[in-house]
Amino acid sequence: MTPFGQRLRELREERGLAAKEMAAGLGVSAAYLSALEHGKRGKPNKRFVHRVCQYLGIIWDEAEALQKIAALSHPRVVVETAGLSPEATELANRLAGRIGDLPQEVVARWLTELREGPGTNTADSSTKPTE
C-alpha cells in the first residue's frame, strides 16, 4: 500500500462510501480505485488528486497535503546515486535489497528521521519513479 492509497481509503471510509460509489463519482473503474488503494498502481497525477479533492470536498491545507502524499506514493522508485559517495550507493542498494525484511518499527524510525532531518523536502529530486 502507498501513503496515497492508505489516505484515500481512510477518506472514503470516513465518509461511508463504497469503493464502487466513489469510483463512479470520480469517473474511474472500481478496479482502478482498488488498485490505487492497494498500491498496485503508480502515483496518481495531479489532475486525479484534484478530482478526488473536489469529489470529497477537500480544500486548502488538506488538499495540499493530499497532493504531497500522492507525490511520495510511487510504489517503485529509482534512487540515483551517480556523483554521490560509494557509501550512499551501498546504502541505496542495501536498502533496496532488504526493505521488505525491515521491522515496521525500524521503517517508522528511519522515516521519522528522514522527515525531520536537515534538507527535508517532500518532493526530493533524488528519488524518481520508474517508467
10-residue stretch averages of pLDDT, the chain, 131 residues long:
96 97 97 96 95 97 97 92 96 94 96 87 47 43
**Cα distance between residue 12 and residue 18, in whole Å:** 7
Angle, alpha carbons 31-32-38 (nearest 5°)? 90
Question: Which superfamily, per CATH, for 3-71?
Answer: lambda repressor-like DNA-binding domains (1.10.260.40)
Query: How much is the pLDDT for 129?
Result: 45
Name the H helices within the chain.
3-14, 19-26, 30-37, 46-56, 60-71, 86-98, 104-116
* Neighbour tally for 125: CB within 10 Å: 7
Grid cell digits, residue 102: 525491515
* Span(s) in the chain for CATH 1.10.260.40: 3-71
Q: Kindly state the cell numbers that stand for 61.
A: 491545507
pLDDT at site 117: 85
Position of cell 469529489?
55
Per-residue confidence (pLDDT) for residue 120, from 0 to 100 = 67
**Residue 119 has what pLDDT?**
77
